[in-house]
Amino acid sequence: MTTEEGATPATKIDYSSPYFLGPQDRPADFITPVRLTSNNYEEWSNTVRLALRARRKFAFVDGTLTKPTPPYSEEDWLMIHSMIISWLLNIITPEVKGILSHYENAQQLWSDLKERFAIVDGPKIHQVKTDLAKCVQTKGMTIGAYYVKLKNLWDELNNYEPLIACKCKNCTCDVLKQHEKRRESERLHQFLMGIYIDFFGGVRSQLLTQTDLPTLNRAYQQMIQEERVRGIVHAQEERPDVMGFALRTDGKGAGRGVKPDKSGHVCSYCRYSGHEVTSCFELHGYPDWWGDRPKPGIKEGGGRGRPNNSGAPGN
């Protein structure tokens, strides 16, 4: 179909197509907050991969789409590549950008960046697996923090050792599901091996003795529940000690040998130091346990004195 002027009208691109660009897609966009430096390619490429997949554009850089096919034109192809190249250049530091050539193909730019900055897989895989073997939960580490530490290592290793998918046409062996199940089992055992056994050894034994091993998520849930129960019990055990400490600090209920210091107190009634008027024996009466000991404030003949020296009766 042509217009009156003879020109072919533009084909409307469906939003689900990788060629679709919405009004929110602009060349000046920063599709990820991570900027490429000379030593963070793995982190940078992971974030870019996610961002481009979210926009259905990663097929242009990984080689899945190699040339335009109808109804898309060469102009559509160049438009998408120009947009992706702009996005990538926006998240590259000036130092790295300075050594790059001019590109019109996003796949070529992506490949060159990987060739220049990606670390050789062998040493990196060895390092990640070493970190996994050493990853354990310490006494002061929560289950959540321990799991996040493991999860980051698993995700990093997955970048170098992705699951193997069957390339046969019309495959019915479900090899991918089998690999996923095996990896799930490996991660479950890694998680259980590294937990702090003094706190969670009992739960681990219960999980491992089940006829069907739980999923990793189920094991994590059980550990979180045990952690919460331990926290409640610990809080209940600590509460009496805290209350006892409060009693001792204000002088009430203090045991023998923990008598509060009142040497700086002076009674406003008898003028003796060492007690306050609220506990003055001369004012309120001497207790029975005072016995026959002298009562400094009472002179012979029944009169009361008001000495200014210390040693006044009181508690």
Cβ(213)–Cβ(185) under 8 Å? yes
150-168 average pLDDT score: 83
- The per-residue pLDDT for 99 is 87
Split at pLDDT 50, 70, 90, the class of 304 is very low
Cβ(102)–Cβ(111) under 8 Å? no
- Kindly list the distances between the CA atom of residue 229 and the CA atoms of 11, 21, 149, in Å, as whole numbers in the listed order: 62, 51, 23
- The per-residue pLDDT for 169 is 66
Q: Please give the model's pTM, rounded to 2 decimal places.
A: 0.53
**Range 22-36 burial, b when 16+ CB lie within 10 A, else e:** eeeeeeeeebbebbb
140-146 average pLDDT score: 94
- The per-residue pLDDT for 174 is 77
- The per-residue pLDDT for 301 is 42
Q: What is the mean pLDDT of the chain?
A: 81
Give me the phi and psi of 44, to 5 degrees please.
Answer: -65, -50
Cβ(273)–Cβ(281) under 8 Å? no
Range of weakest confidence among 15-29, 89-103, 152-166, 210-224? 152-166
- The per-residue pLDDT for 7 is 46
Q: Is the pLDDT of residue 302 over 80?
A: no
How many Cα atoms are found within 13 Å in the side-chain-facing hemisphere of 233?
7
Cross-strand pairs, 314: 280
Q: Which residue has the higher pLDDT, 10 or 169?
A: 169
Which amino acid makes up residue 84?
Answer: I
Range of weakest confidence among 125-134, 168-177, 234-243? 234-243
Residue 188 CB neighbours (<10 A): 20
Return the closest-CA partner of residue 271 out of 313, 241, 238. Answer: 313
Q: Where are the alpha helices (DSSP H) in the chain?
A: 41-54, 74-90, 94-97, 106-117, 121-134, 143-160, 175-193, 197-208, 216-249, 281-284
- The per-residue pLDDT for 205 is 95
120-124 average pLDDT score: 79
The residue extents of the domains of the chain are 1-118, 121-244, 261-315
Cβ(135)–Cβ(153) under 8 Å? yes
Cross-strand pairs, 280: 314
Q: How far apart are CA 211 and CA 58, in angstroms?
A: 43
